[in-house]
Amino acid sequence: MAALNRFGAILLADLRERTRSTRFWVVLVALSWASWWCFPPLDAHYMTVSIGSGVRGQYSSAWIGMTLGLLYSTLMSLLGFYLVRGTLVRDFETRVWQLLVATPMTRAGFLLAKWTSHMLVFCLVMAIGLAVGLVAQFWRAENTTLDLIELVRPVLWLSLPALSVTALFAVLFDMIPWLRRSAGNILYFVVWIALLAFSSTGEHRPVSDTWLSDPNGIAMAWRDLKSQLSLAYPQMTFDGLAIGGVMFKGEPAIFEWTHWAPRWLDIGGRLLWVGAALAAICAMAPFLDRAAARTASHAASRTGAAGLGLRQLDRLLKPFEANPTGLLLAAELKLLLRPRRRLWWLALLVLGLVQLFGSMQALGIACILAWLISTDAFARTALRERDAGTAALLFSAAHVQRRLLFVRVGVVLALAVLSVFPALLRLSLGNPLTLLALLMTAASIAVAGIAVGVACRNPRPFELLLVASAYAGIQGHALLNPTTDPGATIALHGILLPVFCVMLVALWPRHCSVTEQAAPWSGLLKRHHGRKALA
């Protein structure tokens, strides 16, 4: 009973810490709004879950549950990771861990409480989505028969096992120091893509092999959907299950779907994924003390020169240091480039070769990945003073706010452009429209990274936006992939780029003043300058 009380206390404290954040409720409202668009009307020309290209179930309780179950098990397993991660790091960095370790709390109990907290957040998101789904069922009025069991069953057996694996990765990446920041966010995107690819291969396995299914449950759901569709439409062939948005012309073909009954063997296979996640959480307990001890040393190493020395950079930037703006520009470039590790430079080189010599499709994907490996630079540049505690020193200089904004936008824009310079060079030889689209995309990413960081005072929202946009771009969406439709890319960024510019200019003064007030030693420096002025 005492252990259960300690578990509950840690869980409750973690949930209170989450729910006291305005950002948490803003995200919930945004996800609720997005849930409504998962159930488009007949004339919407898109579907979020479909069989092949234009077949979906009638909006019954069972089909709404199946739609949400598949969307949560796939897309939420990506977005949810960025929503919940970071709670262990917060306890390590705020020294709360040192207080907890002095109690009778067990390491396994602490990690299980964190994992359970992640799962409760996911359950809250799913509960809101189910409520929105019920409203959509009666609003669309295709089938108004209410069946709560059929509504909840797909979410329970498809989404929860998938999200239990997501919660496991959120805890694991917080345990490993070099995965706690942007590198972990990018790596998880790769892991998620790999898991999704594994799920898609499961659609072609024999029925007898689908009891274990995959973490997302796609193979199991497709087996039952295909079985019923084969009876309803014996003359038709179906390509597979499409999740996440499919555009089509005309009205969709609708079939009746009022019941889903997974086998007991299927349920056992889904529970195995949950059990594997719990076992992995307990297996990490012996390494918890080591992970907490490495937090301070890793934070110190982040501020040091962890990357290449780039000694020639001093000589190249020497002419710019003759005036204050040039000096600030040189300092920003050094801070941006010197922490870059050898692996980053190697990846940039490989992606540059793909941009030069690959197909147009490979060029588009290589450009997206080149921007993606620099996510930390785009997302954290505006927050450097807050992280390093240097705001009071920097903002004590006269007129530094305007110069800093100009320099930082220029430096990040240069990084975004140079990351795709081989592609720009290739496109300049005969594809000016795609060249313009690629330049506008680079500019939008650079300005959006600083603007969203200034607005949210946290790098994670932009990291989440960039990762989600990168996934869409790899699938062929024009937002980050100008090779598919350059005209659409130019139109999109013609709207987004001015919006981000206005947002940045409007919020930058407030960001500088808030950062300066929150910085350590700011009051001491102000008193010092005040005494000097009086003297």
Q: What is the DSSP string of 121-165?
A: HHHHHHHHHHHHHHHHHHHH-S-----HHHHHHHIIIIIHHHHHH
**Of residues 69 and 338, more confidently modeled:** 69
Q: Which of 89-93, 182-186, 375-379 has the highest mean pLDDT?
A: 375-379
Task: Give domain status of residue 126, yes or no.
Answer: yes
- Are both 292 and 368 inside the same structural domain? no
Dihedral Cα 331, 336, 338, 339, nearest 10 deg: 130
- What value does the mean pLDDT take over residues 139-159? 90
Residue 27's pLDDT is 78
Confidence grade of residue 535 (pLDDT, cut at 50, 70, 90): very low
Q: Could you say which of 296, 315, 348 is where a domain stops?
A: 296
Supply 176's token pair. Answer: 């490993």
Question: What is the reported pLDDT for 91?
Answer: 83
Strands 46-51 and 241-247: antiparallel
Inside any domain, residue 56 = yes
What are the φ/ψ torsions at residue 147 (nearest 5 degrees)?
Answer: -140, 95
* SS3 category, 118: helix
Classify residue 321: in a domain, yes or no: no
Q: What is the count of structural domains for the chain?
A: 2
**Is 160 buried (19+), middle (13-18) or exposed (0-12) by CB count in 10 A?**
buried
- Do 257 and 369 share a structural domain? no
Rg (CA), the chain: 25
pLDDT band at residue 33, thresholds of 50, 70 and 90?
A: confident
What are the two backbone dihedrals, phi and then psi, of residue 125, each rounded to the nearest 5 degrees?
-60, -45
**Percent of residues, the chain, with pLDDT higher than 70:** 84
Among the candidates 231, 261, 296, a domain finishes at 296
Report if residue 118 sits inside a domain.
yes
pLDDT at 406 over 70: yes
With 70 as the cut, is the pLDDT of residue 203 above it?
no
Give the neighbor-by-neighbor strand order of the sheet with 55-57.
241-247, 46-51, 55-57, 253-255
In a domain, 106, yes or no: yes
| Cβ partners under 8 Å of residue 253, min gap 6 | 54, 55, 56, 233
Q: Are residues 174 and 289 in the same domain?
A: yes
Residues 6+ apart with CB under 8 A from 421: 352
Q: Measure Cα distances from 399 to 29, 403, 525, 526, 534 in Å.
A: 39, 7, 17, 16, 21
Confidence of residue 297 (pLDDT cuts 50, 70, 90): very low
The answer to whether residues 352 and 258 belong to one domain is no
Name residues whose C-beta falls within 8 Å of residue 201's C-beta, 6 or more positions apart in sequence: none
Listed in sequence order, the residues at least 6 apart from 168 whose beta carbon sits closer than 8 Å to its beta carbon are 115, 277, 280, 281
Task: Mean pLDDT check: name the lowest of 389-403, 422-436, 516-530.
Answer: 516-530
Quick one: 268 and 344 in the same domain?
no
Instruction: Show the 3-state SS of 331-397.
Output: HHHHHHHCCCCHHHHHHHHHHHHHHHHCCHHHHHHHHHHHHHCCHHHHHHHHHHHHHHCCHHHHCCC
Which of 272, 296, 320 is where one domain is finished?
A: 296
Angle between helices 182-201 and 61-84 (to 10 degrees): 150
My answer on whether 264 and 369 are in the same domain is: no
pLDDT recorded at residue 141: 83
Average pLDDT over residues 138-167: 91
Q: What residues form DSSP beta bridges with 55?
A: 51, 253
CB-based contact 497:440 (threshold 8 Å): yes
Q: pLDDT tens digits for 407-423?
A: 889 999 999 999 999 99
Residues 316, 318, 319, 321, CA torsion sign: positive
Q: 164 and 233 share a domain?
A: yes
Average pLDDT of the chain is 81
Q: Is the pLDDT of residue 385 over 80?
A: no
pLDDT > 80? residue 280: yes
Report whether 384 contacts 335 (CB < 8 A): yes
φ/ψ of residue 249, rounded to 5: -105, 150
Q: Is residue 53 located within the same domain as residue 128?
A: yes
In a domain, 307, yes or no: no
Has residue 535 been placed in a domain? no
Please check whether residues 155 and 258 belong to one and the same domain: yes
Higher-confidence residue: 136 or 293? 136
Q: Hey, how many other C-beta atoms are within 10 angstroms of the C-beta on 292?
A: 21
**Do 391 and 514 belong together in one domain?**
yes
Say yes or no: 26 and 170 in one domain.
yes
Whether 381 is covered by a domain: the verdict is yes
Rounded CA gap, 54 and 478, in Å?
A: 22
- Inform me whether the pLDDT recorded for 287 exceeds 50: yes
Let me know whether 287 and 353 are in one domain: no
Q: How far is Cα 304 from Cα 299, in angstroms, rounded to an integer?
A: 9
Residue 450's domain comprises: 340-529
